Amino acid sequence: MKKRKKTVIIILILCILLIIFIMNSIKYDFLQEDLLLFQLFSSAKQTSEELNISKLESNANNEKADIESSASIKKESSKTQNTNQTQFIFDVEYKNTKLTDINLLDTVDNKTLVYEKIAPGTSGGFDIVLKSNQQINYKIEFESKNAKPVNLQFYTLDNLQKYNTLEELGENLEGSISKNEEKTIHIFWEWSYETNKDANIQDTIDANNIREYNFLIYVRGF
């Protein structure tokens, strides 16, 4: 009887050990699978992050290239616009005002000239060249001598905002020049056409009534 009881106990112990072994084996397999899934997830996440970083770098490089290209185009455009401009030279003196009488037709781009008159579609420009034998502040002003076409506008390379009158443009043309310095201010104008119905009607009226536009340039030193 004792021998039989001992045998049963041994069998139970073996069964318990077997169950423990099986459970550990299953747990180990689950751990391995979890580890593998974690590694796959981490790898996928890292790859995704690398792709995003690569994409961001590519976009940044493209934007930089676009900016550089735009700057190059603008610089080249400015260089083209600066050539063959009619120049008006002023020797700026302290407390003195110099003036020049201008006919806008003298500053027209011949490629846009129509019937020897300013008209819708014409454009041009002129340079105001300032010189001085001393350090001095300056102020540039304009005075219209007759009516200008309503849709004719002005701007400078330093300020591409378009102004409806030279008087408005002159409100922003002031600064200083050093002794023996020469400063050139490039001014451009354009009479755009076919922008909208009301503008077209006004252009037709102005084209019939205005052949030229005259104005004065004042340069004051202080």
Per residue in 165-177, pLDDT tens?
999 999 999 999 9
Residue 81 has pLDDT above 80, yes or no: no
The number of angstroms, rounded, from the C-alpha of 212 to the middle of its chain's C-alpha atoms is 35
pLDDT digits 0-9 by tens, 48-67: 455 454 554 555 455 444 43
Global confidence as pTM: 0.59
The closest alpha carbon to 150, from 163, 141, 169, belongs to 163
Residue 38 has pLDDT above 50, yes or no: no
Q: Where are the beta strands (DSSP E) in 18-108?
A: 86-91, 97-103
pLDDT of res. 169: 94
Percentage, residues of the chain above pLDDT 90: 34
The number of angstroms, rounded, from the C-alpha of 203 to the middle of its chain's C-alpha atoms is 31
pLDDT of res. 64: 44
Average of per-residue pLDDT across 192-209: 85
pLDDT of res. 1: 59
Residue 164 has pLDDT above 90, yes or no: yes
- Per the CB < 8 A criterion, the answer to whether 90 and 128 are in contact is yes
pLDDT of res. 174: 92
Between vectors from CA 114 to CA 109 and to CA 117, what angle results, nearest 5°? 85
